[in-house]
Amino acid sequence: MNKSAFILFFLLIFQFSFGQNQNDYEEVKESVISAYNSGNYTAIFDTYSMQMKEALGLEKTETFFKNLKNSAGNIIDSEFLTFNPPYTIYATEFDGGAFMFSLALSENKEITGFKFTPYGKTTNLTEADTMLDLPFEGEWYVVWGGDTKEDNYHVEHPAQTGAFDFLKINDDLKTHDGDGSRNEQYYAFGKEILSPAAGEVVMVVDGIYDNVPGEMNSDFVTGNTVVIKLKEGEYLWLAHFKKHSIQVKEGEQVEEGQLLGLCGNSGNSSEPHLHMHIQDELKMNSAKGLKSYFKRLKVDRKYIENYSPVRGDLIEKI
């Protein structure tokens, strides 16, 4: 089994509930690494939740890790990278290369999902001609954006290589009030999403339900969606809108700054946020992503022009 094959295999595993204690993640991560390096794959299987054990038996678990060992060798080091619910993500160095090890746990510290994906990939993206304006008011946080795997997990998906994920945070770097169990507690949920440029609306998806935070809908990956044709060869995707909030129709000409809908949590989304990218054709499965620039904005509360945000930026429309 080659590298791309075993990576794809584990993208099919479902996640269920997830724990919140980062020390729990660190403890389980270290136990997985120790068992993996020693070849004790049964010990890893024993830490699965019941659902994981049913979805992935011991034989498949052993086959997966043996193939991983044959392809990449032992794990040398693994350091915390980010938390992207339901996963805690670690930059992980093997004898044969670097991977992102993504781990999801239940409240009982059982493994409910994990995956290994190549890490550190850089891109050489073609730049879109159309300069954009930010699609929202107020200050938002770039949770994924940039040209490397470290900054932007989207680089592994050809159509989404130049994508951004935006969410709102408070001064304590939290995305929500309370326990985060309801969409209404999230600062991004229900915020107006504006058209970043003029163009023709060529696709609208509405009516997809908003997920319970921490759960994702893999059947409708982009959820409620608006796609705008900016020009020939430039299609702007905005995804995860709130159910029944989209205000534009297919065939409509929209202007920069026009209301498109409200930020939601539909599709393959674990909490309310906006996904956005430009690709070179309408069909996502055959398109290539383009690098996007914003003509004017504040970055970390300083004015800047012609900028493409990266992970960790605080950005604001001017």
Task: Return averaged pLDDT per consecutive 10 residues of the chain, 318 residues in all.
Answer: 37 40 86 96 94 89 91 90 73 84 87 79 81 97 91 89 95 91 97 98 97 92 97 98 98 98 96 97 94 94 91 93
DSSP codes of every residue in 231-255: ETTEEEEEEEEPTT-----TT-EE-
Give the Cα-Cα-Cα angle 285, 287, 292 (nearest 5 degrees). Answer: 130
| ∠ CA 296-299-300, rounded to 5° | 155
How far from 135 is each of 72, 114, 181, 192, 261, CA to CA, in Å?
41, 33, 26, 8, 10
Q: Find out whether 112 and 16 touch, Cβ atoms under 8 Å.
A: yes
Residue 209 included in any domain: yes
**Into how many domains does the chain fold?**
2
Residues 152 and 257 in one domain: yes
The full length of the chain comes to 318
* pTM of the full structure: 0.67
d(CA 110, CA 17): 10
Q: What range does the domain containing 145 cover?
A: 139-316
φ, ψ of residue 197 to 5 degrees: the values are: -165, 165
CA distance 133 to 153: 23
**C-alpha distances in Å from residue 124, one per residue of 133, 155, 276, 285, 299:** 23, 10, 19, 19, 23
Distance CA 289, CA 268 (A): 19
Q: Is residue 147 part of a domain?
A: yes
Same domain, 81 and 197: no
What pLDDT score was predicted for residue 122?
56
| Rounded Cα gap, residues 186 and 309, in angstroms | 22
Amino acid at 11: L
- Both 164 and 230 in one domain: the answer is yes
Residue bearing tokens 């930026």: 313
**201 and 166 in one domain?**
yes
- Both structure tokens of 98: 């670097």
Does residue 38 sit in helix, strand or coil? Answer: helix
Sign of the Cα torsion 149, 151, 156, 162 reads negative
CATH number, position 16: 3.10.450
Torsion over CA: 149, 154, 159, 163 (sign): negative
Do 99 and 169 have their domain in common? no
Q: Which residues contact 98 (CB under 8 A, 6 or more apart)?
A: 91, 92, 118, 119, 120
Query: Is 261 in contact with 195 (CB distance < 8 Å)?
Result: no
**Does 177 share its domain with 282?**
yes
Is 133 within a domain? no
Angle, helix 3-10 to helix 58-72, in steps of 10 degrees:
140
Give per-residue pLDDT as tens, 279-296.
Answer: 999 999 899 999 999 999
Q: Decide if 123 is inside a domain.
A: no
Q: Calculate the alpha carbon distances from 306 to 80, 103, 104, 258, 296 in Å.
A: 32, 36, 37, 21, 6
Residue 178 and residue 300 in one domain = yes
Please report whether residue 170 resides in a domain.
yes
d(CA 4, CA 121): 14
User: What does the pLDDT read at residue 54?
Assistant: 87
Assess whether 46 and 179 both reside in one domain: no
